Structure 1
Amino acid sequence: MAGRADQAKLPRFVEPFLEMLMVERGAAANTIEAYRRDLIDYCGFLKSRSVAPDTADSDHIRQYLAGLARQGVKASTAARRLSSLRQFHKFLFAEAIRQDDPTVVIDAPRRGRPLPKIMSEEDVDRLLAAAGADVGPEGTRLQCLLELLYATGMRVSELVTLPVTAVLRDEPFLLIRGKGDKERIVPISLPARLAVNAYLEDRSEHLPDGRESPFLFPSRGKEGHLTRQRFGQILKELALEAGLDPAKVSPHVLRHAFASHLLANGADLRVVQQLLGHADISTTQIYTHVQEERLKALVEANHPLARRRYEG
């Protein structure tokens, strides 16, 4: 709770609200401090318009939220602020300080879903070329990992725990066990199959003390297979060798690249959903937004009217 000096500066009605949070709800000090900051900002906005919290209406709240958006405040932060206002106005209504709650008709700010990081096809080619230049057992394993990941869009956890039996038949597809033990069949490309065959010849070099392992990518670690963390480290080292920004390269980014490149080359969204193992197609639709953003950037950069607008 704020000290006495801060309490004296609190806008009207805020102090009893914070006391209610502390006494009746047992709110933590950090929670109360967050409410205090939010409400001081909100009440300051109202004061600049000669309005008090007990007379503010829904339009005032919308104007406040619109001001946050203009300031570049994140939607998640604005949503938290609105939550503070809801609790505050609910308190004012419950205490009969006002006869209504103006927040009940206010929609929460839409939280934009962040677009996934995507590698271009050229960047993926550079990464694969760098892996191919690494000779020996480490090189064949790395190339196999990359080819499989980019050819199938597997989650990294699915990749590193892939059983060796999944590839021994040299079939043009893989049976992948994903989240919730759900199985899906994913075709693999000829380059990926060739990379797997080359790696299988060197796989014994990675077996712990020469013992057998059920995993395609065995390791001497306690988990018995290459860990996702170690693969991520190796991938960032490879990115440096390929002249790419390591911060923009990860196993998950390659999964994104798989989906994005398929859609860019005409694949059906439902097919991509099945290949990725998404339960809900809305999860897959994020990749269509990536394509839309790319198309918008392409038009703005190359359309003569767009260029003229920026140059004028």
Structure 2
Amino acid sequence: MIRQNLLVTPKYALLNLEEIQVPEGKSKVEISVPEAKGLKLVKSRQSLTWLLRYGYEGKKESKVLGKYPDISLEDAIHLTLRYQAQLAKGINPFAEMQKQAAMPTLKEFFEKHYFPHAKQNKKSWKDDQSRFTNHLQETLGAVKIDQISPAMLTDTLAQVKESGCINATVNRTRALLSSILKMAFDRELIGQNPMMRVKKYVEKNQIERYLSEDELKRLMPILANPKAYGIENQIIIGIVEMLLLTGARKGEVLHLKWADLDLSNHLWKLNENKSGKPRIIQLNTEAQRIVRGMSRKHEYVFANPETGQPFNDIRKTFQKILNAADIQNFRIHDLHHNFASMAVNNGCDIYVVQHLLGHASPTTTQRYAHLQQDTLRNASELLANRINRARPDQAI
């Protein structure tokens, strides 16, 4: 290769650029540009290419900047000056560009790294998938994961809230984002988790719904004789009774297998609960009666007789039960709350209720431990009576 000097005007207009000739017997010629250290124009018989020669960490390197005329001389000089300034600070701009080009977007990282991990390790992976699709993909999916800022996260969560979601849903979305970004931090794609600077939304964790004594009295006749109220599915009736009597979660009852039961010792062995830990549910007499009334034809105790598998949805029949009992604004999961409330109001210690429900912490149990007014009034009267017994006799 033959190297020559290139004459340049003050406005960076090449003189006789098209007339530069490649010498006979050579494949190309390399011409230096005085205005920018290391900038070369390499002319072959087919093309003109901008090349930057530079030193980094004691090694000589080179980088093709692009073709002429796609990149003008003025642009090539500006690029070179910018790159040389970074090199002078000990930064390799081309390594940084390569790193940035390989940096995944939030959507790419979710699909390639986070979601496969969640699918293997989380029972709630479908919830993660749904939250990402519904709340995050459109707003943050195309953003490079190292470019996500606390302000972006705050704005995204505000949009989730404005879409009509309650604070708890916003916080679950926040938790998903935090988990994704923590994994990115662990993989050294980002320097810190920006979610650490984004506050949670305030949640009202107190129980809002449980069965009153009157509602319970209206409910039990329907469960005892559902056909009299036009309800034919006895298996779903059994599921509702099981939820009411054990405080178990809907998914746990729906997926109860005969192999999980030790009826001789009145035990239901759960391999794992919501937190992923095994636990045992003590089956009371009524729960045992319900289980023994189910067919053993299928693997699941409360199997759909048409498929042999758990029911996909029991809400339609559950609503018929509520309508027959004239019970309003009551969800299936409220039966879980109701069990805790009834246990506490009937004198069960919070520690006992914690283990009945399979909670890892009594703090979680406390959320469901709604005390009825009669319980509070009786406790207050009890204390007042003890105080009064200590009073001296009043003189008449």
**1:120–1:257 contact (8 Å) kept in structure 2:** no
Q: Quote the residue 1:92 is aligned against.
A: none
Distance 1:110 1:281, change over 3 A: same
1:112: how far off?
4.0
- 1:213 corresponds, among 295, 298, 304, to 298
- Structure 1 residue 266 displacement after superposition: 0.4
CA distances 1:45-104 after superposition (whole Å, capped 9, x unpaired): xxxxxxxxxxxxxxxxxxxxxxxxxxxxxxx7xxxxxxxxxxxxxxxxxxxxxxxxxxxx
Provide closer, same or farther for how the CA distance between residues 109 and 254 of structure 1 changes in structure 2, counting only shifts above 3 A: closer
Structure (1 or 2) with the greater helix fraction: 1
* Identity %, equivalent residues: 23
Equivalent in the alignment of 1:146: 240
Q: CA deviation at 1:147?
A: 2.4
Residue number in structure 2 paired with 1:286: 367
Alpha carbons of 1:220 and 1:190: their partners in 2 closer, same or farther (altered >3 Å)? closer
Q: Aligned pair 1:276/2:354, yes or no?
A: no
TM-score, L = length of structure 1 = 0.50
Greater relative CO, 1 or 2 (CA 8 Å, sep 6+) = 1
For 1:26 and 1:120, the matched residues in 2 are separated by: 45
Tell me which amino acid in the other structure corresponds to 2:268: L
Of the candidates 325, 331, 336, which is equivalent to residue 242 of structure 1? 325
Q: CA deviation at 1:134?
A: 2.1
Task: Give CA deviations for 1:207-258 in whole Å, capped at 9, x if unaligned.
Answer: xxxxx5321122268792112xx2222111111011222x22x221111111
Does the Cα contact within 8 Å between 1:173 and 1:187 map onto a contact in 2? yes
**Alignment gaps of 5+ in structure 1:** 1-23, 36-75, 77-106, 205-211, 300-312
Aligned twin of 2:267: 173
Is the alpha carbon distance of 1:220 and 1:194 closer, same or farther for their aligned partners in structure 2, counting shifts above 3 Å? closer
1:129 to 210, 221, 229: 221
Q: In 2, distance between residues paired with 1:26 and 1:189?
A: 51
Shift of 1:121: 3.8
CA RMSD of aligned residues (A): 4.1
What 5-or-longer segments of structure 2 have no aligned partner? Answer: 1-147, 160-166, 168-198, 380-396
Report the AA paired with residue 205 of structure 2. Answer: R
Q: Secondary structure at the match of 1:251?
A: coil
The 5 Å alignment of 1:155-234 reads 155-167=249-261, 169=263, 171-177=265-271, 178-198=273-293, 200=294, 203=295, 213-219=298-304, 224-227=309-312, 230-234=313-317
More strand, by proportion: 2
TM-score, L = length of structure 2: 0.41
Per-residue CA deviation, residues 157-196 of structure 1 (Å, 9 max, x unaligned), is 1010000233473542322241244222222222222222
Cα distance in 2 for partners of 1:216, 1:298 equals 41
- Give the 3 Å change call, closer, same or farther, for CA 193–237 of structure 1 in structure 2: same
- Secondary structure of 1:285's counterpart equals helix
Q: Indicate how the Cα distance of structure 1 residues 231 and 170 shifts in structure 2: closer, same or farther if over 3 A, else same.
A: farther
> In 2, Cα distance between the equivalents of 1:219 and 1:143?
12
